[in-house]
Structure 1
Amino acid sequence: MAVSAALRAAITRAQNADQHSEPVFSPLRGLGRGRLTPIDLLGQSLSTIAPATGMVFIALWMITYSPGYVGLAAIAATTSAVFLVAFCITQFTRRLAAAGSLYSFVFQGSGIRATLTAGAALVLGYLGISVSVFSQAVPSLLDTIAIVGPDVRGTAATVITTVAIALAVAWIAVRGVRFATRAILVVEACSLILIVVVMLATHSDTTTAVALPNPSLSAVPFLAMLTVLSMAGFESSAFFGPEAKRPLISVTRTVLISPIICGVLFVFAAWAAMTGHGATIVGAYFEGTASGASAEVVLAVKIGMTCSWFASTLGCAQAGSRLLYSMGIERVLPAPLARVHRRFRTPYVAVLAFVAVSAAGVFIYSDTVRDDSGSFDGVVETALVCAYTLVAFASWKFLRRIGEHTSLTRICTLSVSTAGAGLLVYIVLDGAVHGMWALPIAALAVAVSGTVWSSLLRRARPESLLMVGAFDSVETADLLPGAGTLLIDGDGRRRLVPDRGTAEGDSPEHGR
């Protein structure tokens, strides 16, 4: 009887509900909500990281400078530190979904200037990663073509290949995120299987003849920084919270799992290099058949690495476009960046803008930066470490504000914040000592970016400062009929109120 009465009351509320009130929408409703599965999110994170390429470069530096078990321990320790950063990020992902990822999360714990600083750091970091992997994809593809066909390497071929890759990345990213994430997950999985099999199946005591610049840091700190750079983008699944199914659960799990998977693969690559199992694949990629590897092995490695570089370029474009889209929604960047494709529900303007800047960056990188890639990588690392430090500190302030701190969260958030700040100081001082002035300049530019940006917005578009921190929220269509009416208060907060047609017998006062 009680169930029947409750059912009748629910039907009555649904019938009497006010259907003419103005609907309330999520600020991120333009994106295709609730489409991505945990597998899609994992594909996005792994594609951005491109662990296959990280494994080869870690093996290369392990073979070249032979840091031994100390280097192996440094890689494992760095992986643990990245996992702690992931733990700090999940304090936000388990509570809200935002297309701006770390940028939007910082707002929940810190002020607008810190938020804009994090946004500037993320834009610089993701563009830097994109330019770096994009610039590797071009010669890798040309080398692969030269193995199976005519040697078309040259300036004209480089330009044509760069444009072709940019168009392919833009088309796939606009076409749909599910299509892209699943395709690149398969590609990256095949590349990883290939590299692991080759490492396990081959053994050589010879060292590589690749000419490498001397790193500004000693071998062990350099390996730690290389590991951080190789794991950059592990949190990229957080950009897709509004588009994920059960985002508070699936995004959180992906953010935690991604650094663990990559850390295991990187430690394995370091072990393979120490025991002679990494020389063959390093030689095959960097020296071709001159290393003694067979033409078949060289071709397989080139194809695998090229696919991994392409997947990483695509992953960066997808994540970076969501960041620009979120900023366009808030009007801290031009509003056209918030335009969404009517059919595919993807931020096509933001995708095209990000890919275009990345392609332009590739031409600049190839002409002026490639010979000083250490400084370029250092600038990208500085931006990423700044963003991770800000989100860790913001998570400490956020949990304290909502009263949900535990001993574990206090230790982790404060430890990561302190370690990140110390690492930034170390990077700046080391860059100054070794004459790499791009690092302290980049650190200073990121540090003042939030203040400068907020001042410009306060003069040009002050209303945009009230929109910072947009995240996916409940809208009218998400409510069951009769559950209430969603309204927006004068301060912009959503509030659920009883329907005006609620039966008197169902009012809170009934039965008192």
Structure 2
Amino acid sequence: MTSALRAAIDRAQDAEPTGDHVRSPLHALGRRQLSQLDLIGQSLSTIAPATGMVFIALWMTVSAPGLGGVLTIAATTGVVVLVAWCITQFTRRLAAAGSLYSFVFQGLGTRAALVTGTALIVGYLGISISVLAQGARTVLDLGELVGLNLPGTGPWLVTAVLGGVVALIAIRGVRFATRAILLVETCSLVLIVATMLVAPAGGTTTSELPVSPLSLLPFLALMTVLSMAGFESAAFFGPEARRPLVTVSRTVLITPLVVGALFVFTAVASLTGRGSLIIGAYFDGVDSGASWAVVLAVKTGMACSWFASTLGCAQAGSRLLYSMGVERVLPSALARVHGTLRTPYLAVTTFVAVSVAGAVLYTLVAEADSSVFDGVVEVALVAAYTLVAVASLRFLHRIGEDTTWTRVAAVFVALLGGGLLVATAVDGVTHSLLVVPVALVALLVSGPVWRAVLRRLRPQSLATIGAFDTVETSDLLPGAGTLVLDEHGRPRIVTGGIQEERM
């Protein structure tokens, strides 16, 4: 950057704006503060690849799907990368706190956007509830390991404490949170990978698999999707990123590649029996024959990973609630932002409170057989990814920037995602598990129903859906013109009588 350009930018920042100051709809967030490293930390923490590796190792070791399981995981990773490619068609052009919800609106309109919003709420809340409950249970296991036994209310108490810490960190500031959880998740990953590398081959495990309502390979595919869910969470932080159109897109593409490689490594290692030690240490403790030190290390690493995932979900989910609050699709109170910390504190508190309540209920009811709960979450996530693929196809065609590759990727993901949803619903009926197909139907009708309710109670909100970060008066260099809002509320630069629209 030349000294003259730097001086011009400094003058623009110091100059007093003329006329009304035009702001981005998302100006309350701390704009332009997150680096590439921060975004990678957010996505990796939400995925919690260390936990996914352990559960993939469990299924690969006990169910022994052989090479077919490895290929299923690898193929699913490839599909997720294609989903990421579809998402980047939006992140290269828009920065939105609503992520896929806002992107789908740009391609498919209000109803599909509301379906996607419902799917993301179900998906992120479901993941948060599950990982928070698992984290609390792991902390209790650690307590027993060191001789500290909590009373019967222990699970509830630990869940509430973990939720409170998550809320405090998320409200404290997004940069602090992303860097803290990146450190935690990196340590967990190093521990899990090192254990698999040094473990003797050919080990056995006595762990039992949870009941699965689906056939093995389709279940492995859905479990891989669930384990990689959150790779796109960096897209929620576009308005807060320094170079959102570049760094968010890189993160969305890089994260599934890295995590997919770790999952394939885990699957291959499990085929040789190298996953048995870590599976036994986590699920069976010292009863598996693993040493006390190994069990302590594995459970500590997993507890950290569960905590990091809970924090990542809280940060991403709160941005979705914040965006919907700005648009008044949900109560506008959710759009309140802390004046100093620049975080949506009410949205964070709401998301974490629901997660804590859900985690307590999950511990009491669903933990013994979580397959139904997981199935609903998986269906919601697959539906959201399918819709964003279709939306990218329509969006690029409308703006005249579609190519053969983008069309092929979008059509492939849409057909595969739709086929997987249908297959999951049919498999659920076959196994007399009607909750999954019913959840799919409820999800698909949620958009039209939500839109009808908004049209009746709050019709003005329908005109504000799809809010994304736009240029502000303070972003303009001296002499670049004056920023005004047109009759539709869109920012335009006025220079010498000529108006230019700016996204």
Q: What TM bracket, shorter-length normalisation?
A: over 0.9
Look up the match of 2:93.
95
Q: Does 1:307 align with 2:311?
A: no
Give the one of 326, 330, 334 matched to 1:337.
Answer: 334
Please give the alpha-carbon distance, in whole angstroms, between the structure 2 residues aligned to 1:416 and 1:145.
45
Q: Does 1:86 align with 2:98?
A: no
Q: Does 1:199 align with 2:200?
A: no
Give the one of 318, 324, 328 matched to 1:327.
Answer: 324
Q: Does 1:187 align with 2:157?
A: no
Alignment of 1:105-120 (within 5 A): 105-120=103-118
How far apart are 1:35 and its partner, in Å? Answer: 0.6
Q: Does 1:451 align with 2:426?
A: no
The answer (yes or no) to whether the contact 1:210–1:287 under 8 Å persists in 2 is yes
CA shift digits 1:413-454 (9 cap, x unpaired): 111111111111111111111111111111111101110101
Q: Which amino acid aligns with 2:71?
A: A
Look up the match of 1:3.
none
How far apart are 1:499 and its partner, in Å? Answer: 5.8
The answer (yes or no) to whether the contact 2:62–2:208 under 8 Å persists in 1 is no
Q: Which amino acid aligns with 1:164?
A: V
Alignment of 1:415-454 (within 5 A): 415-454=412-451
Q: Which amino acid aligns with 1:352?
A: T
Give the one of 228, 234, 237 matched to 1:237.
Answer: 234
Look up the match of 2:205.
208
Q: Does 1:55 align with 2:70?
A: no
Look up the match of 2:259.
262
How far apart are 1:211 and its partner, in Å? Answer: 2.4
Look up the match of 1:125.
123
Identity %: 61
Please give the alpha-carbon distance, in whole angstroms, between the structure 2 residues aligned to 1:65 and 1:214.
12
Alignment of 1:252-291 (within 5 A): 252-291=249-288
Please give the alpha-carbon distance, in whole angstroms, between the structure 2 residues aligned to 1:166 and 1:337.
19
Q: Which amino acid aligns with 2:95?
A: A
How far apart are 1:203 and its partner, in Å? Answer: 1.1
Q: Which runs of 4+ in 1 moved over 4 A?
A: none
SS state at 1:497 partner: strand
Look up the match of 1:479.
476
Q: Which amino acid aligns with 1:344?
A: L
The answer (yes or no) to whether the contact 1:27–1:329 under 8 Å persists in 2 is yes
Q: Does 1:222 align with 2:227?
A: no
Give the one of 241, 244, 249 matched to 2:246.
Answer: 249
The answer (yes or no) to whether the contact 2:46–2:231 under 8 Å persists in 1 is yes
Q: Which amino acid aligns with 2:56?
A: I
Look up the match of 1:489.
486
CA shift digits 1:379-417 (9 cap, x unpaired): 001100111111110000000000001110010011111
The answer (yes or no) to whether the contact 1:482–1:499 under 8 Å persists in 2 is no
Look up the match of 2:370.
373
Please give the alpha-carbon distance, in whole angstroms, between the structure 1 residues aligned to 2:401 and 2:122.
32
Mark the CA change 1:312 to 1:18 in structure 2 (over 3 Å): closer, same or farther.
closer
The answer (yes or no) to whether the contact 1:203–1:278 under 8 Å persists in 2 is no
How far apart are 1:149 and its partner, in Å? Answer: 3.2
Question: Which 10-residue stretch deviates more, 423-432 or 307-316?
Answer: 423-432
Mark the CA change 1:19 to 1:45 in structure 2 (over 3 Å): closer, same or farther.
closer
State the structure with more CA Rg.
Answer: 1
Q: TM-score w.r.t. structure 1 length?
A: 0.93
Please give the alpha-carbon distance, in whole angstroms, between the structure 2 residues aligned to 1:386 and 1:478.
37
Q: Which amino acid aligns with 1:368?
A: V
SS state at 2:153 partner: helix
SS state at 1:491 partner: coil
SS state at 1:155 partner: coil
Look up the match of 2:22.
24
Question: Which 10-residue stretch deviates more, 154-163 or 103-112?
Answer: 154-163
The answer (yes or no) to whether the contact 1:18–1:499 under 8 Å persists in 2 is no
Look up the match of 2:152.
155
Q: Which amino acid aligns with 1:363?
A: V
Structure 1 residue runs without a partner (length 5+): 1-5, 501-506
Question: Which 10-residue stretch deviates more, 412-421 or 365-374?
Answer: 365-374
The answer (yes or no) to whether the contact 2:241–2:247 under 8 Å persists in 1 is yes
Please give the alpha-carbon distance, in whole angstroms, between the structure 2 residues aligned to 1:366 and 1:148.
23
Q: Which amino acid aligns with 1:395?
A: S
Q: Does 1:413 align with 2:400?
A: no
Look up the match of 1:503.
none
Give the one of 358, 363, 387 matched to 1:361.
Answer: 358
Give the one of 39, 43, 61 matched to 2:41.
Answer: 43
Please give the alpha-carbon distance, in whole angstroms, between the structure 1 residues aligned to 2:213 and 2:228.
20
CA shift digits 1:279-315 (9 cap, x unpaired): 1011001111111111111100010000000000000
How far apart are 1:325 and its partner, in Å? Answer: 0.1
The answer (yes or no) to whether the contact 1:46–1:258 under 8 Å persists in 2 is yes
Q: Which amino acid aligns with 1:477?
A: S
The answer (yes or no) to whether the contact 1:48–1:233 under 8 Å persists in 2 is yes
The answer (yes or no) to whether the contact 1:44–1:185 under 8 Å persists in 2 is yes
Question: Which 10-residue stretch deviates more, 99-108 or 361-370?
Answer: 361-370
CA shift digits 1:5-27 (9 cap, x unpaired): x99xx99x99xx99531111000
Give the one of 452, 455, 461 matched to 2:458.
Answer: 461
Q: Which amino acid aligns with 1:306?
A: A
Look up the match of 1:504.
none
CA shift digits 1:470-509 (9 cap, x unpaired): 0000010100122100111112221111168xxxxxx99x
SS state at 2:493 partner: strand
What RMSD over aligned residues (CA atoms) do the two structures have, in Å?
1.9
The answer (yes or no) to whether the contact 1:120–1:446 under 8 Å persists in 2 is yes
